[in-house]
Amino acid sequence: MEPERTASKRTPVAPHPPLPQYYEKAEDRRSFVDRIFDDTAVHYDWINNVMSLGSGVTYRREALRRAGVVTGMRVLDVCSGSCQVARAAEDIVGREGWVCGLDASLGMLREGRNFVSAPLTQAFVERLPIADEVVDAVTMGYALRHVADLETTFREYYRVLKPGGRLLILEFTKPKSSVMFQASRFYLRRVVPALARLRGRKARTLMEYFWDTIEHCVPPETIIDALSASGFENVGRSGQIQLFSEYLAFKGE
C-alpha cells in the first residue's frame, strides 16, 4: 500500500540535533558532512579496519544474510562510501543479481571503485535518481545519522523497492546500560580518534564526530516509528552487544 504523502505537513525528524562544535548552524551540517567524508575518504577503510579489528566486511556480509539477501537479488546500496556493504552484497547476489551503489561524496566513491564492479553514482538519499519499484533490497550501512530527515529518506527507499522488497539499515546505537555506554564511549570517543590521528587531524575529527552523532542520535523507537510512518511493514530491530542495530523493514506485496 502506498504511504500517505503528508511530508509537507509534518516537522522533519533529524537523526540528531545540530552539533555546534563541528558546524555553527543547522543548515551548515550538510556541507560539513560532505567535506569531512571527502577529506578523509582515503583513510576510511584503514580506520574502519582498526576500529572493527578487521571484521567490517564480514560483519556486513553476515548482516545481509540475516536480512534475507540472497543470490539473484537486485540490491541498491545507499551511502556506499568505500563500498564495504556493496562488496558484501556483490559476493552474495552473484552474477545472477545486481548491485548499484550511491553516495554524496565523490571521494568516498573513488575509494569504493577499487573494490566493486557495481555501478556507482553520486547522489543524495533524500532524492534517489532511480525509478519506482525496481530493487529487491535497499541497504544502508552506518549512515542514517547523516540524513536530513528520516521520513523523507525512508519514503524514497519505499518508492524504489519492489512490492515485497526489504530495507536493511545497519547503525550504531547508544547503549542503554551505563557500563556498556561508558566502555563504548571510552573506546570510540577516545581510543579510536587517537588512532585515527595517525592518519591526520581530519581523520581524528571524523571519528570524534562519529561518536558524538551516536551519542546524540534519536532512539531506536523514533527510527522504527518513522519507518512505519513511511509505509513499511513488519518493521523490526535486532541488536548485537547493545551497540550494533540492524533495522529490517518490508514493503507490502
What residue ranges bind ligand SAM (CB under 6 A)? 33, 37, 79-81, 84-85, 103-105, 108, 124-126, 141-143, 146-147
Count of residues for the chain?
253
Which of 108, 227 has the CB closer to ligand SAM?
A: 108
Eight-class DSSP state of 96:
T
Specify the residue, 1 or 241, whose C-beta has the smaller distance to ligand SAM: 241
The secondary structure of 31-85 as a DSSP string is HHHHHHHHHHHHHHHHHHHHHTTT-HHHHHHHHHHHTT--TT-EEEEES-TTTHH
Beta pairing, strands 135-141 & 120-122: unpaired
Four-residue CA torsion sign, 29, 35, 41, 46: negative
Measured from the CB atom, the residue of 177 and 238 that comes closer to ligand SAM is 238
Minimum Å distance from CB 179 to ligand SAM? 26
CB of 170 to ligand SAM, least distance (A): 7
CA distance 23 to 30: 9
Residue closer to ligand SAM (CB basis): 4 or 65: 65
Minimum distance from residue 238 beta carbon to ligand SAM (Å): 17
Smallest separation, CB 49 to ligand SAM (Å): 11
